[in-house]
Amino acid sequence: MDSRNSNGILTGHNLVSCIDELLPQDYQDLSHCTQIATQSADRVSSRFANSAAWLQEYLRTLDFLGWSAYQDAIFTRTRYDVSKSVAQFLVTSAQGMQDTRQGNAMIDTLDALEPDKPALISLDNESLMGERFQVIPARYDSKGFLEIAVFNLELVAYAKKNSFLFWSWEEQAAKITQSRAYLKLDKRILDSKRSLLEKKLQEVVMKRFDLRKKLAR
C-alpha cells in the first residue's frame, strides 16, 4: 500500500493522521518505525501498567531510528475533561496546534476510521477500549522535513465502550490524560539503519489499516 489518497494509518494502538499526502517512502517509513517502536516498548514494559517506562522506550527506539525530539521537553503530562466524544476532543486538540491544517486532517482521518469496523475492533482490542492509545499527527515542515507529534493518551472513565473514540461521554465522568512529544526525522540516520529496519520488520506481526475516506458519489 502507498500513501495515495490516504488520510491516516492505524497500526496497533497508534492512530496516525497525515496532512496532505506523504511521499510513498515516507509513508512506509513512518508506519514501519511506529510498528517497530511499539513492539520494542512492549517488550520492555506494559503500556497499561507502566506507561511512563513504555513511552520512554518507544521514544528511545524512534530516536535510534532517526526521529529526534525537539521543542525542549520530551513530554508534558496534562489532563482534560471529555465533554462529548474522544473523537471530538482529538479534533479540538488538533485545531489548537500550530499548523491549523491539523484539525481538518484529524477530521478526515476519523471520518475514514469510523466506518472501518475491522480497524475499530482492532483499536478497541489493542488499547483495551481506550485505556492506552496514541495519536500521531504527521506533516512536512517548511523545509520539507517529516515531523510528528506523539500524543500518548489514557481514557479514564467508569465504563468501557466499544468504538470508544466515537462514544458520547456527556453523561459520564470521563477524562483524558495526555503525554506528548515532538519528533523530527533525519533521513540520513534512518537510511543508515535501513538494513536493520528491514530485519526488524520481519518480526512485526502488528496489523496495519490504511485509512482512506470514501468520497461521496
Which of 70-79, 114-123, 167-176, 193-202 shows the lowest per-residue confidence on average (mean pLDDT)? 70-79
Q: Is the pLDDT of residue 129 over 70?
A: yes
CATH code 3.10.50 for 8-203: no
State how far the Cα of 9 lies from the Cα of 13, in Å rounded to an integer: 11
Domain locations in the chain?
8-203
Q: Is residue 54 over pLDDT 50?
A: yes
**Span 108-134, mean pLDDT?**
96
- The pLDDT of residue 212: 86
Phi, psi of 15 (to 5 degrees): -110, 110
Q: What is the pLDDT of residue 1?
A: 44
Type and span of the H or E element at 57: helix 51-64
Residue 68 is inside which H or E element, if any? strand 67-70
> Using the 8-state DSSP alphabet, how is residue 23 labeled?
P
Lowest mean pLDDT among 17-21, 133-137, 150-154: 17-21
Strand-strand pairing, 8-11 and 14-18: antiparallel
Backbone dihedral region of 72: left (phi > 0), alpha (psi from -120 to 50 degrees) or beta?
A: left
Residue 148: the pLDDT is 94
Rounded to an integer, the average pLDDT of 85-95 is 91
- Which of the listed ranges 10-14, 22-26, 174-178, 179-183 does the model predict with the highest average pLDDT? 10-14
- CB distance 34 to 136 below 8 Å: yes
Report the pLDDT value the prediction gives residue 74, as an integer from 0 to 100.
66
Distance CA 68, CA 70 (A): 7
Confidence band, pLDDT 50/70/90 cuts, at residue 217? very low
Task: Give pairs for 199-207: CB < 8 Å, separation 24+.
Answer: 200/36, 200/39, 201/32, 201/35, 201/36, 203/39, 204/32, 204/35, 204/36, 204/39, 206/11, 206/12, 206/35, 206/38, 206/39, 207/11, 207/12, 207/122
Q: Which residues are CB-neighbours of 125 under 8 A, at least 6 positions away?
A: none
Q: CA–CA separation, 36 vs 28, rounded Å?
A: 12
The confidence score (pLDDT) of residue 104 equals 87
pLDDT at 97: 77
Residue 60 pLDDT > 80, yes or no? yes
| pLDDT score, position 63 | 95
Phi, psi of 9 (to 5 degrees): -135, 140
pLDDT cut 70: percent of the chain above it: 93
- 126 against 213, higher pLDDT: 126
- pLDDT, residue 158, reads 85
Sign of the four-CA dihedral 213, 169, 152, 51: negative
Q: Residue 83: how many CB atoms within 10 A of its CB?
A: 12
Give the pLDDT score at 4. Answer: 56
Lowest mean pLDDT among 98-107, 114-123, 181-190: 98-107
Mean pLDDT taken over the chain: 90
